[in-house]
Amino acid sequence: MDFEFSDEQQAFVKDVERFLDEHDDPDIFDVTRENMAQIVDTPKRRAFMAEVGEQGWLGITWPKEYGGQEGEGVYEYLLNEQLAGRGGPQIGKGVGIIGKTLIHHGSEKLKAEFLPKILRNEVEFAVGYSEPDAGSDAASMKLKATRDGDGWRLNGQKVWTTSAHFAEWYWLGARTDPDDKHGGITLFLVPLDQPGITIKGMWTMGDERTNEVFIDDVFVHDDYVVGEVGKGFQYISQALDLERFTMFTFSPIKQRLDLLVEYVRTTVRDGVPLKDDPVVRQRIARLVADAETARVLGLRFVAESMKGGAPPTTHASEYKLFATELSKRLASESMDIAGPGSALRVRTEEAPMAGRAESTYRYTVIDTIGGGTSEVQKNIIARRKLGLPKNF
């Protein structure tokens, strides 16, 4: 594959850069919020993403019949990387997880109701897969959906639902058949403002809010079942491949690596330039090499996904595993190389790298969990690519 971008693709990047320059606002762009924290959680961020939609950039890869441009996946990748590099909100769940699943599996009613709103950024979604006893193993979810006339009655609990406190709709997995682990899960779209839904905030070590969601006797009409009853785990698995790639961008890693390299290049410790320390040079060289590997793994996923069909599962897992573990290692190396001052909180001007290492040291741990833990990614690669048995 060609790892260089075409003239047309580079021109698109320039257009995006100009647009971002014109909309520069610290309330929208904050580089200390990375990856899973780059969400549309404020009115300003929401208005900004609506303007991104007006450019025709949301759903750029969607079929034209649903308002898209049928563009190549690389343009979605380039857009997301530019947004992430500025610390802006990413195109996220609506365009990727929900939109693409509805296009392939949703009813005409759901497509007509939600796809235009997604393209205009008029709706926000929360994703409800994880439960207290079903985190990495989504097929173990227990939230019960019981048939009730022309719909379903939902009861149970979700956890780690990041956007529940500001989203309008819940993209929710529930168990419709207790006797079939993988074939007994169904996807629903549930409005979050109805009685019976209680949302309680939980704060992560990365200073970001996620939520517990309690669902008590909530009715959902058959019209809001996504695809076929019992096919939810299949749809979730496909959507997670997209999440593992789109929610963990490369740009913030490269930006923090550049920040560390500049710190090493300009810092003198005990009268000796830090850049002349052979151990530090070795560690920087390893990080730079690994960063290039992560970049290429990401581009390989884009290239494979452009071939059509289902998202390339193992490629998504390889990228997610390598990139998030690298991001965590980069944060640790930044703390170590910068010394005691790196423990000062982010935005402390006198701290090395303005305290950026401290915040990412806390936050990058979350990235290795969200979208499926590193251990889950290793199992996926082992089984689906290497052909190893499930209980090896």
Q: 354 with 297, same domain?
A: yes
Each residue's pLDDT tens digit, 61-85? 999 999 999 988 899 999 999 999 9
User: Is residue 279 very low, low, confident or very high in pLDDT (cuts 50, 70, 90)?
Assistant: very high
User: Is residue 310 very low, low, confident or very high in pLDDT (cuts 50, 70, 90)?
Assistant: low
User: Is residue 281 very low, low, confident or very high in pLDDT (cuts 50, 70, 90)?
Assistant: very high
Each residue's pLDDT tens digit, 144-162? 999 999 999 999 999 999 8
Q: 116 with 165, same domain?
A: no
Domain boundary among 195, 229, 263: 229
Domain annotation covers residue 108: yes
Domain annotation covers residue 245: no
Here the CATH number for the domain that contains residue 260 is 1.20.140.10
User: Is residue 38 very low, low, confident or very high in pLDDT (cuts 50, 70, 90)?
Assistant: confident
As a whole number of angstroms, the distance between CA 310 and CA 101 comes to 11
pLDDT at 244: 64
| Average pLDDT of the segment spanning 118-134 | 93
Share in percent of the chain as helix, strand, coil (round to 5): 50, 15, 35
Q: 257 with 221, same domain?
A: no
For residue 218, the enclosing domain spans: 126-229
Q: 96 with 149, same domain?
A: no
Here the CATH number for the domain that contains residue 201 is 2.40.110.10
Q: Which stretch of DSSP H or E encloses residue 256?
A: helix 251-266
Q: 282 with 299, same domain?
A: yes
Q: 132 with 111, same domain?
A: no
Q: 280 with 349, same domain?
A: yes
Domain annotation covers residue 238: no
Q: 100 with 160, same domain?
A: no
Q: 12 with 97, same domain?
A: yes
The C-alpha angle with vertex 324 and arms to 321 and 329, in degrees rounded to 5, equals: 115
As a whole number of angstroms, the distance between CA 63 and CA 286 comes to 42
Percentage of the chain lying above the pLDDT 90 cut: 74
As a whole number of angstroms, the distance between CA 55 and CA 94 comes to 17
Please name every residue paired with 383 in a beta bridge, in sequence order, or none if there are none. Answer: none
Domain annotation covers residue 392: no
Domain boundary among 176, 197, 229: 229
Domain annotation covers residue 379: yes
Q: 278 with 225, same domain?
A: no
Res. 246: pLDDT tops 80: no
pLDDT at 2: 67
Q: 115 with 140, same domain?
A: no
Query: DSSP code of 95?
Result: I
pLDDT at 29: 93
Domain boundary among 123, 145, 162: 123
User: Is residue 201 very low, low, confident or very high in pLDDT (cuts 50, 70, 90)?
Assistant: very high
Res. 392: pLDDT tops 60: no
Q: 77 with 95, same domain?
A: yes
User: Is residue 337 very low, low, confident or very high in pLDDT (cuts 50, 70, 90)?
Assistant: very high
2 vs 142, higher pLDDT: 142
User: How high does pLDDT run on average in the chain?
Assistant: 92
What global pTM score does this model have? Answer: 0.88
Res. 245: pLDDT tops 90: no
Looking at the 3D structure of the chain, how many domains does it have? 3
